Structure formats: structure tokens, C-alpha cells
Amino acid sequence: MIDDALPLIERALSEDIGAGDATTQAIIPAAVAGRAVILTKADGIVAGLPVVSQVFHRVDPHIQLEMHATDGEPVTAGDVVATVMGPLAGILTGERVALNFLCHLSGIAALTARFVDAVAGYNAVILDTRKTTPGWRALEKYAVRAGGGRNHRSGLYDMVLIKDNHLAVADSVTAAVRRVRTAGVTVPIEVEVTTIAQLEEVLPLGVDRVLLDNMDIPTLREAVHLVAGRVPVEASGGITLDNVTAVAATGVDYISIGALTHSAPALDFSLEVSR
């Protein structure tokens, strides 16, 4: 995860610092050392602390962090998740970039945990999607895992997902699956269907998973009954905290939710200096 974060960290620091931190350089001598704490300002799940550590290390390798929480751990408002020690100038220069990573990733973890809690007691697994911030996919999918969810495909290369636009060209589900197999593709094959008729067509084809897209609750129940455990089924489209429990109750195996990564509100943290 850290290897994926390093280019983002470098870019974020360059963007923020530019030619130098004018305020800190004018006020705080480079030799002045101190400490600061990172505080949680809302209840949620923490994610991104290793990234925070790398941010401060990149600003000044003399900065040290003592962690008081671990990624994936529930936190409540007022909790101290880390103590930052070392040159104060470096601590203040790295503050905003470090918190930006922490707030965003923890927000994803916190939202994911709410969905996971909402389906507790059912067999459905909460999945993310490819609806991620460009360049941030590995980190955002890491945050989903920290919140108790699981990852769908990482990209276009590790799973075939035949969608409506593919079917518009291939003319039918059967033709599309045949083309994939003729091409010698070895990764798992998933097919998106929007109707019971399409589902009936795909079931004899021996694919690895079927995605039931934008089906209402009665249709999802009918689909799960028709499948009868022959292939794992995934529900997607229009999933919210208000309806995810009902979706899970239909018996689907997976529920994929783009909002985990594209609409998660930041979980607020602050850094406070205490010399």
C-alpha cells in the first residue's frame, strides 16, 4: 500500500509546498523541536496512518510518530490517534497533506463500515467498484478493506465484466461469453444482466459471477431463487444505506457500491501542537 502512496505523497507535497512554506519559515526556526497530536473530531474508522507517517518522513526524516491507533480501528471524537515529534517546522509543513490523506481514507473506511454493519447477519459481502479517484485506486481500495469491505476487480485486467455496452456490440450474452473464451482469456468472467430473461440466458454458460444491475427488491428475490446457488450473484446500482439491508435479505452473495469511494465524506481530524 505504501509503495502505491509514495508518488501521490510526493506530488501532494510538491503541490502544497512549492518553493517553500513561507509562513512557517518566517516564524519557526528550523532548530526548534516539539510535538503535536493528531485528534479525531468525529466517530468513525481510522485508515491511512502509515501514509501519514510517510508524509512527515518525506518532509523531514527527523520527525517521528508514535501511533495510538491502527488502521481499521474504531475511533471516537477526541481520540488521539498519533503523536508527532521532531522539528516543528517540518511538522507544520506536512500537517495539511498528512491530514488530507487521513481524512479522505478514514472517511471511506467509516462509510464502508456503516454498510458492513447494515448487512450483518446476512451472507452478503460489501464490495467497492472502479469508481475511484484517478491515481488513488490502491489507497481507496485499501481504505475499503480497513472498513471491513472487500475489493471488486482492481482494474480492467484482472476480471472480465461484460456490461451493457459490450452486449450492444456482441448482440447477446451468449455471443459475448463465447468471444471472451475464444480469445483465451484466463481471468474470471462476470456478466451484468438487467432482466430475468438475460439471467436465464447466462446461467447455462458457466460464468464465474452474475451481476444483477439496478433490479428492484422483488426482481432480486426472483433472480436469487432462479439461480438457486448455481453461480455467485452480485447486486449493484442504486444501493444506499436505506436499502442495503433489504438487498442483502434477498440472498445475494455480493453487493457492490460505488459510493464507498466516490461519495464518502471525509472523517475530520486535526493536528494540535503542544510544545
Q: Which residues are catalytic?
A: 96, 131, 163, 192, 213
**CB burial of residue 24 (10 Å; 0-12, 13-18, 19+):** middle
Q: What is the DSSP letter of 58?
A: H
The alpha carbon of residue 21 and the mean position of all alpha carbons in its chain are separated, in whole angstroms, by 31
Reference 225, options 207, 251, 202, 247; nearest CA is 251
Integer angstrom CA distances of residue 200 from 6, 42, 132, 210? 47, 47, 32, 11
Reference 89, options 51, 52, 49, 62; nearest CA is 62
Q: What are the residues whose beta carbons fall under 8 Å from the beta carbon of 197, sequence distance 6 or more?
A: none
Integer angstrom CA distances of residue 159 from 154, 208, 255? 8, 10, 17
Q: What are the residues whose beta carbons fall under 8 Å from the beta carbon of 131, sequence distance 6 or more?
A: 258, 261, 262
Q: Are β-strands 64-67 and 80-87 bridged in parallel, bridged antiparallel, or unpaired?
A: antiparallel
